[in-house]
Structure 1
Amino acid sequence: MADTVTPTWVYTLQLPHDPRSPGIARATLRAVLHRHGMAVPADTAELITSELVTHAYRHSDGPSALRLRAMDGRRLRVGVWDTSPDVPAAFADPAPAVYGGPGGLDLVRMCADRYGGYRLGAGGVSAGRLLWAECAATDVVSPLP
């Protein structure tokens, strides 16, 4: 029996501090998933991506970066770095999502299989925070040639 190689890939997109960044991030996500044939629930992945990038835009003054990563070929991790040093309590110490009018990061927590966040560096280029969330693929289809 031949060993199978788990498909792995990582994409990083630098985003300016611009209100159009969430839309650009969603379009990039769709293109990357399509290219690699990763069948993740599109609405869920787009919502997670959009909310994390929107949070970065609203709660920091500088640029941000979107990182998309295939985790063991069966999960997608969406990470967003920004210049704010503050990790929201819900991401630093995961707790049950609050229902009844959720918005923003509460939506991410409700839709993601896993999520978290942490501070990066104390200053300079690598300072800021990284918030991430994962969702499982429903199936992996043949990638485009």
Structure 2
Amino acid sequence: MPENQAEPWEYCLYIPNDLRAVTVSRRTLRLILTMHGLIRLVDVAELLAAELVSNAVRHTKGPAALRVCWSAGVLRIGAWDADPEPPRPPRSLEPDAGLEDGRGLALVRACADLWGWHPLARHGNRGKFVWCELAAA
């Protein structure tokens, strides 16, 4: 039986700078959401997490992390990476013959209820946190 969905929870998965981490992150997120009775959010959440983690490992050189939080009926998915540079602005989802990638944040913007990013610079840590939210209803 799923846990009470009213109770807040949080998970953090630290990952190496390796594209295989995208698959590990998706599968871990699926397991977390299933165990908490949030299977209806899995497909969109997996897509969002894959885009955020993929950006973190493709565009930076250091480690990264996936953070998943549930509170007040909202699922927040975020990816931390060690690069303090802001994410590239979302491109259009329209097909462009010259682009093979670069649409990740546009997908996040289109599928999430809310998204954003902020730099991190406390306790000597540098980097950024890119996040998005999905409402349960």
Residue 12, structure 1, aligned to residue 12, structure 2: yes
Change in CA separation of 1:105 and 1:7 when aligned onto 2, cut-off 3 Å: same
* Partners of 2:24 and 2:104 in 1: CA distance: 18
- Residue equivalent to 1:111: 111
- Residue equivalent to 2:34: 34
Change in CA separation of 1:6 and 1:42 when aligned onto 2, cut-off 3 Å: closer
* Partners of 2:5 and 2:34 in 1: CA distance: 19
Q: Which TM-score applies when normalising by structure 1?
A: 0.79
* Partners of 1:89 and 1:123 in 2: CA distance: 26
Residue-by-residue CA offset, 1:106-141 (whole Å, 9 max, x unaligned): 1111100000001000783x2100000011224xxx
- Residue equivalent to 1:94: none
- Residue equivalent to 1:141: none
Q: Is the 8 A contact 1:8 1:70 kept in 2?
A: yes
- Residue equivalent to 1:98: 92
Q: Is the 8 A contact 1:108 1:133 kept in 2?
A: yes
- Residue equivalent to 1:88: 87
* Partners of 2:40 and 2:128 in 1: CA distance: 25
Residue-by-residue CA offset, 1:50-74 (whole Å, 9 max, x unaligned): 00000000111000011000021x2
* CA deviation after TM superposition for structure 1 residue 89, in Å: 5.4
* CA deviation after TM superposition for structure 1 residue 6, in Å: 2.4
* CA deviation after TM superposition for structure 1 residue 88, in Å: 2.2
Change in CA separation of 1:59 and 1:122 when aligned onto 2, cut-off 3 Å: farther
**Unaligned runs of at least 5 residues, structure 2:** 96-101
* CA deviation after TM superposition for structure 1 residue 43, in Å: 1.8
Q: Is the 8 A contact 1:39 1:137 kept in 2?
A: no
Runs of 4+ in 1 over 6 A off after TM superposition: none
Query: Taking CA–CA contacts closer than 8 Å with sequence separation of 6 or more, which of the two structures ends up with the larger relative contact order?
Result: 1
